[in-house]
Chain A
Amino acid sequence: GDSVTQMEGPVTLSEEAFLTINCTYTATGYPSLFWYVQYPGEGLQLLLKATKADDKGSNKGFEATYRKETTSFHLEKGSVQVSDSAVYFCALSDLGGSEKLVFGKGMKLTVNP
C-alpha cells in the first residue's frame, strides 16, 4: 500500500537555523502531498500542501516542493523560531478505495533561543 517515510528525530536547532525535514513516499497513482504540524498538547493542523508534480506549497515561512522524479516532498524553512517547536508529519492522500491520509512517523523539532 501507499506509504510515507520521513526523517526521524528528535532534532534540536538554535533559533534562526536552517531546517530541512526529508520526506519520501511510495504510492500508486499521483497522490496529493501534505505537511501537518502538531504543537504540544494539540491535534494536527495542516501546514501546507501540493497537489501535483512541481507544485510548491508554502505557509508561515515553510516550503515544500512536490518532486515526482524523486518521490519526495522535503520541508524547509530558512530561519526557524522557538515557536516552530512541534512535531511535523508528512502525509499523502490515499484515494484508492476510501479516502484517507497516510502519515509518516513524525519528527519532533525543538528550537532553542
Chain B
Amino acid sequence: NAGVMQNPRHLVRRRGQEARLRCSPMKGHSHVYWYRQLPEEGLKFMVYLQKENIIDESGMPKERFSAEFPKEGPSILRIQQVVRGDSAAYFCASPPPGGIANTGELFFGEGSRLTVL
C-alpha cells in the first residue's frame, strides 16, 4: 500500500556491519508491525510497536535485533553485526485505527530487501 513507506528498498551490507530499516506508517496511524520474509519460509512476525512503546516483541531474535518507534519520525528496525542468514525481505505493516480486531487488514509497505555479502 502506497501509504506505508519503507526505505531503503534495497540494502547491501557486509558481514559484521549494521543495517537500519525505516518505516513510516500510514498518516494518522500510530502502530506498526515488522515481518520478515525469508526464502522458502513465508512471513514471520517480528515485533509490534506503537509510538514509544513495544507491544509485542515475541518474534524478535534475542540478539542483534532491535526495534523502536519514537514519538517523532519513522519506526526503525536495527540489525547489528549482520550475518548472511539475515538476508531477507523485511516488511512493515500498519493496522487501521482501532487495530486488526475488526477488519483484520494490515496495510503493508513494499519491503526492504537486505542482502548480506
Contacts and interface: CB of A to CB of B under 8 A. Distances in A.
A binds B: yes
A45 B104 contact: no
At the interface, is chain B mostly helix, strand, loop or mixed?
A: loop
Interface in A68-113: 89, 93, 95, 97-106
A43 B108 contact: yes
A98 B44 CA distance: 15
Given A45-B1, A93-B101, A103 B42 contact: yes
Contacts of B108: 43-45
| Most B C-beta atoms less than 10 A away, residue of A32, A45, A89, A100 | A100
Nearest to A101: B106
Interface size class of B (residues with CB under 8 A): 20 to 34
30 contacts: A32-B104, A34-B104, A42-B111, A43-B4, A43-B108, A44-B93, A44-B108, A45-B108, A46-B105, A46-B106, A49-B105, A51-B104, A89-B42, A97-B58, A98-B48, A98-B55, A99-B48, A99-B99, A100-B33, A100-B45, A100-B56, A101-B33, A101-B104, A101-B106, A103-B35, A103-B42, A103-B44, A104-B42, A105-B41, A105-B42
